[in-house]
Amino acid sequence: MACALMRVWARGPSGILTALTPAVLSRRICSSVFAASQPFGGSTSTVVTNSPLTRRFAQFERSSIGVGVNPGAINLEEEIKRFEYKVEAGAEYAITQPVFDVAQLREFLKLIEHVRIPVIAGIWPLVSYRNAEFLHNEVPGVRVTASIMERMRRASDAGKEAARDEGLQIARESLLEVRDLIQGVQVSAPFNNVRYALEVFEALPEFGAARNAEATRAAG
């Protein structure tokens, strides 16, 4: 079984969000370490993995190492100790589990301020109430708030399309809430639907401006 890191958006020197190239990673890889072919926060880069690929990739001068971090860990003290070790070992940025509880993320960021590196927040566009239940109950470290669960329950009662639209709206709201707290986001693509993941970014004024500029160039 594979999982997909469909898009990573990082705030570059100009303040504009930059897309990192999509990469499909094995489940073993997705649970741990990532590396990017160019320094985080810079231009487009390819996401690669831990183990022999990362070691092989280390030969390139411009590489950076990312790690996973779990703001919703059951043993938060142990999670912070592990994060401190990762930073000491050379981690340059961290990717979180999907964030549905922004208050939880905000509190966690305060706790790691002494070892702060750029943090990329995971954003997961929900597609149904069942999807929300699964993430909340079965995925360690993911907490879907009661208010979001209720929104997805009502939307799912109204039909599949309504649930998808509500999940997309929640993801957009989450993106706007976390953007000033972190340095980038990773938006997952449920069922490998990249177009659905990209729709989340419609909430960002700069994303719309970039798409309009691209359309103008294409037309001209």
- Tens digits of per-residue pLDDT, 170-203? 999 999 999 899 988 888 888 888 888 889 988 8
Split into its structural domains, the chain has a count of 1
CATH number for the domain that contains residue 113: 3.20.20.220
- When pLDDT is cut at 50, 70 and 90, the band that residue 156 belongs to is very high
What pLDDT is stored for residue 131 in this prediction? 96
Asked if pLDDT for residue 79 goes beyond 90, the answer is: yes
Q: Helices marked H in 99-145 — which ranges? A: 102-111, 129-138
Band of residue 71 on the pLDDT scale cut at 50, 70, 90: very high
> Which residues neighbour 8 within 8 Å (Cβ) at sequence distance 6 or greater?
19, 20, 36, 47, 95, 120, 184, 185, 186
Give me the pLDDT at residue 210, please.
Answer: 67
**Cα–Cα distance measured from residue 139 to residue 131, given in angstroms and rounded to the nearest whole number:** 11
Q: Which helix (H) or strand (E) element contains residue 12?
A: none
Query: What residues form DSSP beta bridges with 46?
Result: 21
Which domain covers residue 155, as residue numbers? Answer: 2-219
Q: What is the pLDDT of residue 62?
A: 55
Mean pLDDT computed over 98-108: 95
Q: What is the pTM of this model?
A: 0.70
Place of tokens 């320094």: 39
Which backbone phi and psi does 4 adopt, to 5 degrees? -120, 130
- Determine which of 11-15, 60-64, 167-171 has the lowest per-residue pLDDT on average: 11-15
Structure confidence by residue, pLDDT tens digits, 31-49? 322 333 333 333 333 333 3
Q: Report which residue type is found at 121.
A: A
Span 79-83, average pLDDT: 95
Residue 162 has pLDDT above 70, yes or no: yes
- Is residue 108 classed as helix, strand or coil in its secondary structure? helix
Average pLDDT, the chain: 75
Query: Is residue 23 within 8 Å of residue 165, measured between CB atoms?
Result: no
Rounded to the nearest 5 degrees, what angle is found at the Cα of 54, between the Cα atoms of 17 and 39?
30
Q: How confident is the model at residue 213 (pLDDT cuts 50, 70, 90)?
A: confident
